[in-house]
């Protein structure tokens, strides 16, 4: 009886040792942020999330009530809500990937740069993000949203406008740089643009990415200029010449770490032929999915702790 018990204890001990010693590979989950005037329940967003879940595991993260708050909630508040939501998702605790669409990319970047005590972001794929700002509202746009923007555009740097119209937070008029730097509530901070106020933490967090994938749409007539998707933009005081991303001060002076990421081979510029956020399933599989299929390896001992 005693020998039998000893043998049983030995088997259990060996089994436990074997269990805690094996490395377990887990797929890195992703989160998805939609654009302005959209919502996680929209057909396009649901279809894209469903497609991505064929290759990885993740979800669309909604900020507030979605459509309305994407327009009327300041981006600083949107990024803060995203930060708290992410920290409350246990499946992301060991790290995750991000896919952003249009304005959702500025929420995503705020999450990466501003969110304290958050899980790490490994790969970040940006679809048509207005990263360097927008200089104008498309003349062709006459829906309710554009009418609101056009009505307030001449006062875009007014504190009241900045406080309740989300896209005003990334309007960067090249001929009004002083007003932009002084009164824009979000983008100058996000891009570390203000002289004497460079924050090394934002740069450190952004350069910790394993991959930054910037997708621009060649026929994009929503973002002015479309090169903003790559961090390309007009030089200060000039609204006609467009600087490619590697010629901007943001890159050459490495304000947020683009040059550092590029030098490490972690920055990818992708150009697709469609209009704004007009991406096919095949293009998603080719240019987005590879950055969602990474894995981290955890020991079962870590899992059990």
Contact 213, 268 (CB under 8 A): yes
Active-site hit among 70, 220, 228, 229: 220
Active-site hit among 102, 126, 168, 229: 102
User: Which residues is 60 bridged to in the sheet?
Assistant: 32
Closest by Cα among 98, 103, 130 to 231: 130
Is 102 a known active-site residue? yes
Closest by Cα among 110, 108, 132 to 32: 108
Active-site hit among 34, 126, 168, 276: 276
Contact 95, 296 (CB under 8 A): yes
User: Which residues is 213 bridged to in the sheet?
Assistant: 125, 268
Residues in Cβ contact with 281 at an 8 Å cutoff, skipping those fewer than 6 apart: 51
Collapse the DSSP code of 131 into the 3-class scheme (helix H, G, I; strand E, B; otherwise coil) and give the result: coil
Indicate the burial class of 26 (C-beta count within 10 angstroms; 0-12, 13-18, 19 or more): middle
User: Which residues is 59 bridged to in the sheet?
Assistant: 31
What counts of helices (H) and strands (E) characterise the chain? 14, 8
CB neighbours of residue 37 within 10 Å:
18
Contact 212, 112 (CB under 8 A): no
- Tell me how far apart the terminal alpha carbons of the chain are, to the nearest angstrom: 34
Is 43 a known active-site residue? no
Is 276 a known active-site residue? yes
Question: Going along 72-183, which residue ranges are E strands?
Answer: 96-101, 121-127
Which sequence positions are flagged as catalytic?
102, 220, 276
């Amino acid at each position: 009886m005693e020998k039998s018990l000893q043998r049983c204890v030995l088997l259990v001990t060996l089994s436990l040792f074997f269990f805690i010693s094996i490395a377990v590979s887990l797929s890195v989950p992703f989160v998805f942020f939609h654009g302005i005037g959209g919502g996680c329940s929209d057909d396009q967003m649901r279809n894209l999330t469903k497609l991505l879940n064929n290759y990885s595991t993740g979800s669309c993260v909604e900020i507030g009530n979605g459509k309305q708050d994407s327009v009327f909630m300041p981006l600083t508040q949107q990024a803060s809500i995203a930060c708290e939501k992410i920290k409350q998702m246990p499946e992301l605790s060991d790290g995750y990937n991000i896919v952003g669409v249009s304005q959702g990319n500025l929420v995503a970047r705020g999450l990466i740069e501003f969110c304290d005590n958050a899980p790490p972001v490994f790969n970040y794929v940006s679809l048509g993000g207005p990263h360097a700002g927008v200089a104008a509202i498309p003349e062709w746009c006459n829906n309710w949203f554009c009418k609101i923007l056009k009505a307030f555009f001449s006062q875009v740097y007014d504190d009241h406008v900045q406080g309740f119209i989300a896209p005003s937070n990334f309007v960067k008029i090249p001929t009004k740089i002083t007003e932009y730097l002084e009164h824009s509530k979000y983008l100058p901070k996000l891009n570390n643009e203000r002289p004497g106020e460079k924050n090394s933490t934002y740069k450190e967090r952004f350069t910790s990415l394993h991959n930054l994938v910037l997708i621009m749409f060649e026929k994009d007539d929503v973002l002015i200029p479309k090169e903003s998707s790559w961090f390309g933009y007009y030089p200060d005081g000039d609204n006609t010449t467009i600087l490619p991303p590697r010629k901007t001060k943001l890159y050459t002076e490495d304000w947020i770490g683009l040059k550092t990421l590029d030098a490490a081979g972690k920055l990818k510029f992708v150009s697709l032929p469609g209009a704004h956020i007009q991406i096919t399933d095949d293009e998603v599989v080719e240019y987005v999915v590879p950055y969602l299929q990474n894995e981290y390896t955890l020991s079962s001992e870590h899992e059990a702790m």
